[in-house]
A = this chain, B = another copy of it.
Amino acid sequence: MHYVGIDLGGTNIAVGILDENQKIILKGSTPTSVDRHYSEIIRDMALLVLRLLDEAGLSVQDVPYIGIGSPGISDRENGILQYSNNLKFNNVPMREEMQKTIQLPIYLENDANCAALAEGLVGAARDVEDSIMVTLGTGVGGGIILGGKIFTGFNGMAGEIGHTVVEQGGEKCTCGRDGCWEAYASATALIRQTRRAAQEDPDSAIHRLAQGNLGNINAKTAFDAMREGDATGIKVVNQYIRYLAEGIANMINIFQPAKIVLGGGVSKEGETLLKPLRAVVQEIAYFGGGDVPQTRIVRAETGNDAGIIGAGLLGVSMEK
């Protein structure tokens, strides 16, 4: 048995073939070109799947279904992508359209949820039943895995943990609210925090690291400055970790998941980020007394393939 997972993004369509051990054996991608009609985009997706199956010496008879992860809100039952800002899709009948080319069951899921599922089934949380994935990228993405399955809420939209207010009336968020966790703990937020701090400290190493142009600052810059012993770099990183910890402690107090899995660009700092983060979370989260087991905070393992893997395993998770 093999599996096919599609990560449909605003820039690229990425497809992966997974073997019976749930490992990727072949990958391919093609530009999404979102300005086209959806039927063309979906036809390209289907053709890429067929080409990769062929390359792998497989046919559609060798896979039980096709899993698609995409941004936005899905009607899973009917295979309709109800709304995606990134893809400019509105009530697109993904399943029906895919089945014009490939006659297989089609599963549709939010991409952040697919990433969380990948970590929950074959990644850093594969040994536990309940985990929350937190992706620190352009935004703060979230996916909630309970009992080995994606938790979607009664209307399919659950898991927007980045859009929980941690500072009433605080930083403007892209979602329209003020003070969302995303506006403090995303890579975008870290870059903004780094830039502001550099503006206030003309002597900071950040200026040199950004080659004199604060527009060059990325999510690594403050960490690099910290590694050089730069006081402003240290301050920015400590404050960022505090922001991150507040939201993580919130998730622990609500869910008490066995694991919280950190992914996305900022998580590449690894233990440099995780070690002090765990210390702050330990201080502020509610862990009760005595020997009650505590949530572990770990780094994601499936990297950029998370979306493909999670999409490919959608059917496997449903049968659990």
- Scan residues 143-163 of chain A and give those whose CB is less than 8 A from a CB of chain B: 144, 146, 151-161, 163
The tally of residues in A whose CB lies under 8 Å from a CB in B reads 53
In the complex, what's the smallest C-beta–C-beta distance from A64 to chain B, in angstroms? 26
A177 contacts across to B, CB distance below 8 A:
249, 284
A318 contacts across to B, CB distance below 8 A:
none
Q: Is the CB of B82 within 8 A of A165?
A: no
Q: A154: which of B128, B154, B288 is its contact (CB, 8 Å)? A: B128
Cβ of A115 within 8 Å of any chain B Cβ, yes or no, is: no
Which of A154, A161, A246, A256 gathers most chain B CB within 10 Å?
A154
Cβ of A25 within 8 Å of any chain B Cβ, yes or no, is: no
In the complex, what's the smallest C-beta–C-beta distance from A308 to chain B, in angstroms? 25
Q: In the complex, what distance in Å separates the CA atom of A142 from the CA atom of B159?
A: 18
A289 contacts across to B, CB distance below 8 A:
73, 82-83
Please encode chain A, from 37 to 59, with 1 for each CB lying within 8 Å of some chain B CB and 0 for all others. Answer: 00000000000000000000000
Q: In the complex, what distance in Å separates the CA atom of A243 from the CA atom of B165?
A: 11
Q: Is the CB of A255 within 8 A of B158?
A: yes
Surface stretch bound by B, among A11-19, A97-105, A261-269, A290-298: A290-298
Copies in the complex: 2
In the complex, what's the smallest C-beta–C-beta distance from A318 to chain B, in angstroms? 15
Please encode chain A, from 12 to 38, with 1 for each CB lying within 8 Å of some chain B CB and 0 for all others. Answer: 000000000000000000000000000
Q: Which of A's residues lie within 8 Å of B, judged by CB? A: 73, 82-83, 91, 128-130, 142, 144, 146, 151-161, 163-168, 170, 175-177, 184, 242-243, 246, 249-250, 253-258, 284, 286-290, 292-295
Q: Is the CB of A153 within 8 A of B292?
A: no
Given known contacts A154-B258, A246-B168, A257-B154, A82 and B290 CB-to-CB distance under 8 angstroms: yes
A156 contacts across to B, CB distance below 8 A:
256, 292
Q: A159: which of B163, B249, B254, B287 is its contact (CB, 8 Å)? A: B254
Q: In the complex, what distance in Å separates the CA atom of A130 from the CA atom of B91?
A: 26
A151 contacts across to B, CB distance below 8 A:
146, 255
Q: In the complex, what distance in Å separates the CA atom of A246 from the CA atom of B34?
A: 35
Given known contacts A73-B288, A154-B293, A168-B166, A161 and B129 CB-to-CB distance under 8 angstroms: no
A158 contacts across to B, CB distance below 8 A:
254-256
Given known contacts A128-B154, A130-B154, A154-B257, A168 and B165 CB-to-CB distance under 8 angstroms: no
